Amino acid sequence: MDNNLSLQHKNILITGVSRASGIGAAIAKICVQAGANVVTHGNPQYDANRSYPDASLDFCFDLAREYNIKTISPSDLSAPNEPKKAIQNAQKLLGKLDGLVLNHAYSVNSTIFDCTAENIDKHFNVNVRSSMLMIQAFAQQIEPERGGAITLFTSGQYLGPMINEIAYAVSKEAIRGLCTQASVALATYNIRVNCINPGPTDTSYLSGVAYDEVTKMFPSGRWGTPDDAAKLVQFLHSDYAQWITGQTIASEGGFQR
């Protein structure tokens, strides 16, 4: 491996790691393979409630054993104290953190007419508020001479409408804004902040005719994979990306809306 893509000696917390075919699991694996010390957080109960085929309450612990990864107790990041607690628990396991990958998300399909106050609040509390609080707690433990990197995940809402999951889309637009603001606010702390739009990614959430229809929208004739997103995360946390901050990167394989 090119040494500049090495993550040796970096301590990285990755959220949204709770099922085998998810992006979070792929990020955790590639970061460990690149030499990072990794701790994960997930909420497998959310996946079970969504009836994902690979939902498992034990997955994060199984992954930790197989790949020499540390994990903190699963929790719902919409609870006000959980974001800061997750950072603190990760520090207890690894010491000072160098990287933060905020891959977690809450998404329930709803049109503009279906949204309720509870539905909207849940999207913003998980996707936006928890990310802001985790960034805050992460930045407070950073040593500026060592610096750090944060990667956020948005979606394709800024490239086209997502009106059947509008609360999710609006919350993900807020994540793009958070990237822009935090990258400037944290620059003097030597913390880089970037955002990834991974495009439609095959995480086993779609199948059949609907899956085939989306496939046709990619010029290459294939969906994005969790590994595609994970490789970009590795790059953004490596020395190669030291001059990149405040960016939203669309890694969609030419997806045609």
CA distance 87 to 222: 36
Average pLDDT for residues 161-177, to the nearest whole number?
A: 97
Tell me the per-residue pLDDT of 173-223, one tens digit each, with 9 for 90 and over: 999 999 999 999 999 999 999 999 999 999 988 899 999 999 999 999 999
Owning domain of residue 95: 3-250
pLDDT at 188: 97
Residue 116 counted as domain residue: yes
- Local structure of 165: helix, strand or coil: strand
**Residue type, position 217, single letter:** M
CA distance 1 to 11: 19
Residue 27 counted as domain residue: yes
**DSSP state for residue 155 in the 8-state scheme:** -
Tell me the per-residue pLDDT of 58-111, one tens digit each, with 9 for 90 and over: 998 999 999 999 999 999 999 999 999 999 999 999 999 999 999 999 999 999
pLDDT at 4: 75
**Residue type, position 118, single letter:** E
Task: Kindly state the percentage of the chain with pLDDT values over 90.
Answer: 92
Query: Please, which pLDDT band fits residue 236 given cuts at 50, 70 and 90?
Result: very high
Residue 256 counted as domain residue: no
pTM: 0.96
CA distance 123 to 112: 14
pLDDT at 10: 97
Tell me the per-residue pLDDT of 106-139, one tens digit each, with 9 for 90 and over: 999 999 999 999 999 999 999 999 999 999 999 9
pLDDT at 256 over 90: yes
Residue 257 counted as domain residue: no
Give yes or no: 106 in active site. no
Residue 113 counted as domain residue: yes
Q: What is the CATH number of the domain that holds 99?
A: 3.40.50.720
Look at the chain and report how many structural domains it folds into: 1
Residue 35 counted as domain residue: yes
pLDDT at 199: 96
pLDDT at 228 over 80: yes
pLDDT at 1 over 50: no
Please check whether residue 50 is in contact with residue 113, taking contact to mean a CB–CB distance below 8 angstroms: no
Catalytic residue among 46, 52, 106, 168: 168
CA distance 141 to 128: 21
Tell me the per-residue pLDDT of 11-52, one tens digit each, with 9 for 90 and over: 999 999 999 999 999 999 999 999 999 999 999 999 888 888
Residue 144 counted as domain residue: yes
Residue 213 counted as domain residue: yes
pLDDT at 2 over 80: no
